[in-house]
Structure 1
Amino acid sequence: MNISKQVSLFTNRAVAATIVSLALLAAPAGFAFASVTTTLSPTGNGNFSSWDGDSNDVNDSDPVDCEDSSADGNDNVSTSVVNERESVNLNESSIPNGSTITGVEVFVWDQAPTTAGGTYQTFVHNDDTNITTNSGVDLATTGTGVCTAKSQVIDVADFVKDSGTDLEIGVLKTATNGSKVWIGAIRAIVTYTPITIIASSGVGGSITPSGTLEVDEGDDYPYTMAPSATYIIDDVEVDSVSSGRLNEYEFANVAVSHTIGATFEGGWTAPSVNSDNSSVSNPDTL
C-alpha cells in the first residue's frame, strides 16, 4: 500500500479522534479561574503596637492559650484603652506574585481577664497602600475562664500581590464595652485568585506539565507536547487560538492566566524498512 492510500484509509478515524479531542479541550477555553484560600500566621510585629504584648504572644497553635503567665510563655495581647490598635505581619510567600487578593477572614481567640463583654474589632492593614480596613462590627469577650475562637470577614479592596506586599491583621479596642480584652492568638485565611496556566490534551498524546499550575508573574513556563504511537500532533491551541503543530511552547514573562491544549491525529505508522529497495525511482511497494 502506498503512502497516499495509507493516509486515505485512516482519514475517517483521524477526523473522529480529532472531534473527541476538541470536545475534551472545550472546557479550559472558557474556564473561570477559581479562587484559592490559604491560612497565614503572624511572622512579626506590624505597624500598630499599642496593646500590651507583641506578635510572639499571639502566634499560638492549637490549643490556644489566652491567659497571662501560662507555662509556654505565649500569653496574649491586652488592653482596655479605647481606639488602641495592635497588628501583626503575615508571611504571604505562599501566594504567587501576580495573584489578586480578594478577601481576608481574621480569626482571633479572646478571653476576659475579669469581666466578660469587652468589645473590639478586627482589621486588615495593607502597607502597600497604607489603607486600614476595620471589620465595622464589634466582637465581645465571651467569658473569664475560656479562650473562645471568633472570626470576621474583612471587606478589603481587591489588590494584586507582588514581592513587596506587606499585609497585616490586627485588633482595635472599641468603646461599646470598656472592659479589658485578652487576645490569645490571631491568624488569617486569605482568599486570592492566582495567575494560572491550564494545560490539557486529547486522546493520543500528552502535554507536560498538565493540569492547573499556579504561576508567578514575570516567570517563564515551557510546555512539551508528545504524541503516542500511531498518532501525530494535530494542533496546539493557546488561549483558544490555533498555533499549529508544535512540539514545544513557552509562556514568557507571564502576566495573565492562560490555557494551552493539544489535539492528536491517529492512524499514523512509520514506514517499515525494506532492504530490497534498489531504485529511488521505483521503490518496492510498502
Structure 2
Amino acid sequence: MQTLSSTAASATSATGAYLEIDGVTKVYPSARGPHTVLDGVDLSVAEGEFVCLIGHSGCGKSTLLDMVSGFRQPTTGEVRLNGERIIDPGPDRMVVFQNYSLLPWLSAYDNIALAVNSVFPELQRNGQAKAIVEEHLAMVGLSEAAHKKPGSLSGGMKQRVSIARALALKPKVLLLDEPFGALDPITREELQEELLKIWADHRVTVLMITHDIDEALFLADRVVMMTNGPAATIGEVLELPFARPRVRARLLEQPEYFDLRNRALDFLYRRYAHDDD
C-alpha cells in the first residue's frame, strides 16, 4: 500500500499532467468577511485516470468540480486541461449530476440528441447524429427505452441516460458529482459495474465525487481525501494497488482493501472529527 500527500501526488505528475489543479483557492465574500472554501489545492490527474474525491459535506468537493468544469473560477491559482487554462464551460468537460438533469418533456433519445445536435450541428446535417445517439443508448442498455420520457424511467435508467448524454459528446474529462447517491444499493452497484466497463472501453479521464468509501475503492485509481472546511485542502491521497478489470467479490478478499478502507475511515471520521464539533 502506498499513500501520498497532495504535494507529493502533484509532484509525481508535474510533467506531462493532463488535468492540473494548481494552487487553487476559492474565497467568497460574506457578512462576516471573506470565507475561504478551498485553500491551496494541488492535484495532477493523468490522461485516462479515474480519481475519486471524498470528504465530509462542506469541504468544497463540488466547488472544486465546478472549477474544473468552468462554472466557477478560482480566486487564486488555476485549472488547466492539456496545458490550456480553463476559463469557461465546454463540451470537453461533461458533468453528470446526482439529480440527472434531464429535460422531462423530452424522451431519452431526444435528451441525448439535443446535446449532440447543439455541440456538433454538422453531424445532424450529415445524418451521423442519429447513429451516435443510438450507439450511446445501446451502450447503457436503453435502446428499448429510447422513446420513453424521464417520468417513465427508474432512477437508474435516468442516470444511464445522463451518462450516455455526457459520453456522446466525446469529452476529454467526465465529471461525476455523486452520480449514484440517490439510487438504491443494488442499482448503485449495477451502475458502478457499468461505469467501469464504459470507462475501460473509452478511457476518458474521470474525476468523481462520492461519500461512499467502498464505491471509491472499487472504482478509482486514486482516492483523494479532502480535509474538513472551511479552508479545505487535500489531506491525503490513497494509491490503489488493485488490478483491473476489478471483480467486487475478489476485491473484498484482499487484505489491502480493508487496510485502505480503514485508513480512509480513520482520516475522515477520526482525524477531523473535532472539526464537526
State if a TM-score over 0.5 links the two structures.
Answer: no
Specify the TM-score bucket, using the shorter chain as the normaliser: under 0.3
More strand by share: 1
- In terms of fraction of residues, the more helix-rich structure is 2
TM-score, length-normalised on structure 1?
0.20
Larger Rg: 1
